[in-house]
């Protein structure tokens, strides 16, 4: 086990509105961290800071050598699907290949190896047959698959997923988590989700983000844990599953 990224005491916010205060976290090579927390608690802000889209007001995000290749960090990113314009005229295979953008010099075309790897990924995800279709013709699950291929095509060391289970069918959701479990044998995964019940069986550890960050090195979510970390969250379940309604804490 070796560290990929050290997040050291970062404070992040927009204008005067501090969203994350003094947050620290180390991501190791074989981690599978579930990031949970209430809406507006700063989950996406944490992701965007790791991805370099937001610059912390104080503190720093340190990338270890193996995370850097050329001019970019070896992170694959699966954004929330509603960040994507589904009417944009682009084909599935172009979406996947856009993940290679940083590795290619601006003008250079793709070499055979890249195209083959992209094809192989699309085959694994079951979207090879529809590679020439425009994304506007696909279902939510199929778009997620294409975006996941895009995130993986550059062979990242860390895969970051932002709410991958919204707007997809149950079948894809299960497939996705199984896929992530396999991927986790080689790369680290950081998964943001509001659906605590499902992710807890897959993740190895949990980071609860609500203005601050509480790291729990295990995947058992108990009411005591949640209370102890002052982390009010929502659990959505169906049928006869025992559940606990948590109080909202003032932190």
- Give dist(CA 91, CA 130) in Å, integer: 9
Q: Which is nearer to other proteins, 35 or 95 (CB)?
A: 95
Using CB under 8 A as the binding rule, whether residue 227 contacts other proteins is answered as no
Using CB under 8 A as the binding rule, whether residue 53 contacts other proteins is answered as yes
Vertex 159 angle, CA 153 and 161, to 5°:
110
User: Which tokens in the block code for residue 190?
Assistant: 């950081």
Query: What's 136-195 look like in SS3?
Result: HHCCHHHHHHHHHHHHHCCCCCEEEEECCCCCCCHHHHHHHHHHHHHHCCCCEEEEECCC
Q: Measured from the CB of residue 5, what is the shortest distance to other proteins in angstroms?
A: 14
Using CB under 8 A as the binding rule, whether residue 111 contacts other proteins is answered as no
Binding region for other proteins (CB under 8 A) out of 37-45, 46-54, 191-199, 241-249: 46-54
Vertex 77 angle, CA 74 and 83, to 5°:
150
Cβ atoms 35, 193 nearer than 8 A: yes
- Give dist(CA 63, CA 66) in Å, integer: 8
Residue from 71, 201, 240, 248 binding other proteins (CB under 8 A): 71
Using CB under 8 A as the binding rule, whether residue 72 contacts other proteins is answered as yes
Binding region for other proteins (CB under 8 A) out of 45-53, 167-175, 181-189, 241-249: 45-53
Binding region for other proteins (CB under 8 A) out of 30-38, 94-102, 191-199, 209-217: 94-102
Q: Which residue has the tokens 């050290």?
A: 6
Q: Measured from the CB of residue 89, what is the shortest distance to other proteins in angstroms?
A: 5
Q: With DSSP H G I counted as helix, E B as strand and the rest as coil, what are the percentages for the chain, rounded to 5?
A: 30, 25, 45
Residue from 29, 94, 175, 227 binding other proteins (CB under 8 A): 94
Q: CA-CA distances (angstroms) from residue 197 to 30, 78, 107, 127?
A: 22, 21, 46, 28
Q: Segment 147-166, which members bind other proteins (CB under 8 A)? A: 150, 154
Using CB under 8 A as the binding rule, whether residue 83 contacts other proteins is answered as yes
Q: Measured from the CB of residue 107, what is the shortest distance to other proteins in angstroms?
A: 6
Using CB under 8 A as the binding rule, whether residue 42 contacts other proteins is answered as no
- Give dist(CA 66, CA 59) in Å, integer: 21
Question: Contact positions toward other proteins, by CB under 8 A?
Answer: 51-53, 71-73, 75, 77, 79, 83-85, 88-91, 94-95, 97-99, 101-102, 104, 106-107, 134, 136-137, 150, 154
């Amino acid at each position: 086990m070796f560290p990929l990224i050290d997040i050291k005491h970062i404070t992040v916010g927009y204008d005067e509105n501090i969203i994350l205060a003094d947050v620290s976290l180390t991501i190791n090579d074989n981690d599978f961290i579930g990031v949970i927390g209430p809406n507006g608690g700063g989950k996406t802000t944490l992701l965007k800071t790791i991805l370099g889209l937001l610059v912390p007001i104080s503190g720093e995000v340190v990338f270890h050598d193996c995370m850097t290749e050329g001019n970019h960090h070896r992170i694959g990113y699966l954004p929330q699907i509603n960040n994507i314009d589904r009417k944009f005229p682009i084909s599935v295979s172009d979406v996947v290949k856009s993940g290679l953008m940083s590795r290619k010099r601006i003008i250079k075309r793709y070499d055979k190896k890249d195209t083959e790897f992209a094809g192989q990924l699309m085959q694994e995800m079951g979207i090879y047959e529809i590679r020439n279709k425009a994304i506007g013709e696909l279902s939510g699950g199929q778009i997620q698959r294409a975006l996941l291929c895009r995130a993986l095509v550059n062979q990242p060391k860390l895969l970051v997923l932002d709410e991958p289970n919204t707007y997809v069918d149950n079948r894809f959701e299960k497939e996705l988590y199984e896929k992530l479990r396999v991927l986790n044998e080689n790369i680290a995964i950081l998964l943001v989700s509001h659906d605590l019940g499902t992710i807890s069986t897959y993740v190895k550890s949990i980071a609860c983000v609500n203005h601050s960050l509480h790291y729990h090195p295990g995947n058992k979510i108990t009411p005591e844990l949640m209370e102890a970390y002052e982390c009010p969250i929502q659990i959505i379940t169906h049928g006869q599953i025992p559940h606990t309604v948590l109080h909202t804490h003032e932190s």
